[in-house]
Amino acid sequence: MDAAFKYHCLNPIAKVGLDKFKDNFVKTDNVEEAEGILVRSASMHEMTFSDKLLVIARAGAGVNNIPLDICAQKGIVVFNTPGANANGVKELVIAGMLLASRDVVGGINWALSQKDNPDIAKAAEKEKKKFAGTEIQDKKLGIIGLGAIGVKVANVAKHMGMEVYGYDPYVSVDAAWNLSRDVKHVLNVDEIYENCDIITIHVPLMDATKGMINKEAIDKMKDGVILLNFARDLLMDEKAVLEGIKEGKVRKYVSDFPNPTTAGQEGCIVIPHLGASTEESEDNCAKMAVKEMMDYLENGNIKNSVNYPNCDMGVCVKAGRVAIFHKNVTNMIAKFTSTFGDKGINISDLTNKSKGEVAYTMLDVETAVTEEIVKTLENIEGVFRVRVVK
């Protein structure tokens, strides 16, 4: 059997995912001895990471519960599972749009209040006008962020007869291929604010996106706009949203992120973070996270990391493979290759990839990697971590 790796689950992870682990992966209850951590929404910001930890795989899309920069500096690769729960979230976004357009929630609450009324059917016919709403067909839907979820929402909204505007300055080729041709791709988010009846946001929470829907943005929107937030609450200045509701500018705010600002407030429909809480999404995320973790621990390959670049050299068939985490600065590769050259070791394959300020270099060599070589590599300025994969 190949070397055993230990993994720890910080949250419950779907069994179908854990069942995918090969026999050389062993679950541990002791996080300190784990090379890999699987996590859903547990906050990892206050954690100290053991020197053994090599990888964190987040079963979900958002990674705001993980200190990405600290992990990058320690050479801990953080993965997420983009798209794995996109359908689950998409379906709830559509539900949210309908709940905001028709007062289904008000109607259900009324029916509950009448549960002991023998004449409820008659009363309903009299009362129902209070809960009437509007249809979504022919309305303009604005989607900010055309990633896996945004694209799915756009396509289904088109099928429901909506006019769809999409905004995403960083749209990927994959997303663009999947997006309906009928979606109007705008280059300025103001076009969404100024034209759309319903606006939904699907971007990651980062410094650049925090509070992006603020008073200034809301002021540009149409009167009676409906806002949907199935991404993260901090993307919105929710005080400004509540102000907008009070003034009649915002008709409804649907949020999947309960907090004391919005829960129970007039005009807010608050859902307890159920977007991806479906059996299918949980299974898909767990399977993807486990696959990413295994390939990284066994082969050093990186796919879908949020703090290191993608890198794939397949399964190592040479005597040794070493992975180096380092700063994305000049002359690093020359220093790595000369370390091996000086010892008379031939490099048979090498990949170097960078992402922002960090880079990842993987080398296959024709003799086993010694402790002495590891030490020399570690001492090169700008190297965060050296990992002997094989």
Residues contributing to the site for ligand MLT (CB under 6 A): 40-41, 60-62, 85, 275-276
Judge contact between 138 and 163, C-beta under 8 A.
yes
Amino acid code (one letter) for 276:
A
Judge contact between 115 and 171, C-beta under 8 A.
no
Q: How far is the CB of 62 from ligand MLT (least distance, A)?
A: 3
Amino acid code (one letter) for 26:
V
| Minimum CB distance to ligand MLT smaller for 62 or for 309 | 62
Q: How far is the CB of 175 from ligand MLT (least distance, A)?
A: 16
| Minimum CB distance to ligand MLT smaller for 249 or for 291 | 291
Q: How far is the CB of 278 from ligand MLT (least distance, A)?
A: 10
Q: How far is the CB of 198 from ligand MLT (least distance, A)?
A: 20
DSSP secondary structure, 239-299, as one string: HHHHHHHHHTSEEEEEESS--TTTTT-TTEEE--S-TT-SHHHHHHHHHHHHHHHHHHHHH
| Minimum CB distance to ligand MLT smaller for 63 or for 313 | 63
Judge contact between 340 and 334, C-beta under 8 A.
no
Q: How far is the CB of 286 from ligand MLT (least distance, A)?
A: 11
Q: How far is the CB of 59 from ligand MLT (least distance, A)?
A: 7
Amino acid code (one letter) for 53:
L
| Minimum CB distance to ligand MLT smaller for 14 or for 186 | 14
Please give the biggest Cα pair distance in the chain: 92
| Minimum CB distance to ligand MLT smaller for 64 or for 265 | 64
Judge contact between 218 and 249, C-beta under 8 A.
yes
| Minimum CB distance to ligand MLT smaller for 96 or for 275 | 275
